[in-house]
Amino acid sequence: MQTGWRIGSLFGIPLLIDYSWFVILALATSEYASSYGSWGPALSWSAGLAIALLLFGSVLLHELGHSLVAMSQGIKVNSITLFLFGGVASIESESKTPGQAFQVAIAGPLVSFGIFLILGLGSQVLPQTNLLGIVAERVAEINLVLGVFNLIPGLPLDGGQVLKAAIWKITGSRFAGVQWAAKTGQVLGWLAVAFGLTSCLLAGEYGGLWIALIGWFAIRNATDYSRFTSLQEALLKTKACDAMSREFRVVNADSTLREFADRYLLEVNPFPFYVAAANGRDLGLVSIDDIRFTERSQWQIQTLHNIVKPLEKTSTVSEKASLAEVINTMESGQLPRIIVLSPIGSVVGTIDRGDVVKALSKHLKPTISEADIKRSKEENSYPQGLQLSAIAKTAQD
Ligand SMILES: [Zn+2]
């Protein structure tokens, strides 16, 4: 839903329109116009279009409600998109507390109820036959429906977000909140599909197809929420020491470059890292390239002490660091792999992208095949479609 046609921005949030939106705009216009058929074609279609546009204006304000509350909590809102099933605000990260998550969730329906009250009262003041009054009353009803429908307690609806916040508050676990709200969303989605298809097939109600389609959309979204959150949880619970491999060799820092080269330079499978140690302490890393770039005449004279890159100047993580931290550190430094340190500061392992995927594979549904894990290791990259670096950025307890 992130793609679309940018029509402007509000409070610094880009407003996008997905192409599927034009389909629903046309359907809504014709649906509303048909209820004013007695007014003649020009007026009924104008009213239909006006109400359809006001419907989406209402959706926009609803999404703006969520967005402004999220922004007041210091959370970035990437965009608001109108599409086939209404609107969606792309909010970058989760609120810090269940209370704040509740506020973001409830803000949308509150905006809808607010519009309902204002327009409802407004339409009462205007004479019964006033065109503006009729439109206002209709849009008021629409907002009431928007508010109530969104409070259905299953993800991806706002009611699902409220349920998530409540379970989060009770259990203290955001992950439990999301998983339960996602499950409810899936069940409600399946009920909508079953109800919609039955009413369409048995009673010939074509509106049922629309309900089934919304149900299917809800199932897909709830499943995505659940998968995304499981991955976030796995990224936080898996520690660097669970993922690291021991692809390094400890060498004596007192050796000359010549001695080092004779022993290791021609190895068939060189290690990505050589750790130079002296007096039982790991000093830093020696890279084959640093030796190659040192003049040959110096090889007999210089020791590894001369070319070692101190551990303090290398990007490292502690063995207790979460996999999310590992990924974030590797991505922000564009590193091929990272060194893992024990609490006393000695090198205990290394992690590359293949190691990350391997450690996560048991938490992933659908699981990653051995072949994909192997390819990740060889190419030092994450499998396509598994947006690990993006998810790691959002991972928080
Ligand atoms: Zn909402």
CA of 215 to the centre of ligand 1 (A): 16
Distance between CA atoms of residues 369 and 276, nearest Å: 36
Q: How many Cβ atoms are within 10 Å of 199's Cβ, its own excluded?
A: 17
pLDDT of residue 55: 87
pLDDT of residue 396: 63
How many residues would you count in the chain?
397
pLDDT of residue 291: 81
pLDDT mean values, one per 10 residues, the chain (397 residues): 77 89 83 76 81 88 94 92 85 90 95 94 79 84 92 92 95 93 95 92 84 92 88 88 86 88 78 85 84 83 86 88 90 87 89 87 74 81 76 72
Nearest to 160 by CA among 146, 173, 178: 178
CA of 96 to the centre of ligand 1 (A): 19
Q: How many Cβ atoms are within 10 Å of 299's Cβ, its own excluded?
A: 16
* Annotated catalytic residue, options 31, 63, 319, 378: 63
Calculate the alpha carbon distances from 330 to 14, 25, 283, 324 in Å: 30, 45, 21, 10
CA of 367 to the centre of ligand 1 (A): 32
In single-letter form, the type of residue at position 306 comes to N
SS (H, E, C) the chain: CCCCEEEEEECCEEEEECCHHHHHHHHHHHHHHHCCHHHCHHHHHHHHHHHHHHHHHHHHHHHHHHHHHHHHCCCCEEEEEEECCEEEEEECCCCCCHHHHHHHHHHHHHHHHHHHHHHHHHHHHCCCCCHHHHHHHHHHHHHHHHHHHHCCCCCCCHHHHHHHHHHHHHHCCHHHHHHHHHHHHHHHHHHHHHHHHHHHHHHCCCHHHHHHHHHHHHHHHHHHHHHHHHHHHHHHHCEHHHHCECCEEEEECCCEHHHHHHHHHCCCCCCCEEEEEECCEEEEEECHHHHHCCCHHHCCCCEHHHHCEEHHHCCEEECCCEHHHHHHHHHHCCCCEEEEECCCCCEEEEEEHHHHHHHHHHHCCCCCCHHHHHHHHHHCCCCCCCCHHHHHHHCCC
Token digits of residue 70: 């999220």
CA of 394 to the centre of ligand 1 (A): 21
CA of 182 to the centre of ligand 1 (A): 16
Check if 319 is active-site: no
User: Helices 98-125 and 131-150 meet at what angle, rounded to 10?
Assistant: 160
CA of 364 to the centre of ligand 1 (A): 29
CA of 150 to the centre of ligand 1 (A): 6
pLDDT of residue 97: 94
Distance between CA atoms of residues 52 and 27, nearest Å: 9
CA of 200 to the centre of ligand 1 (A): 28
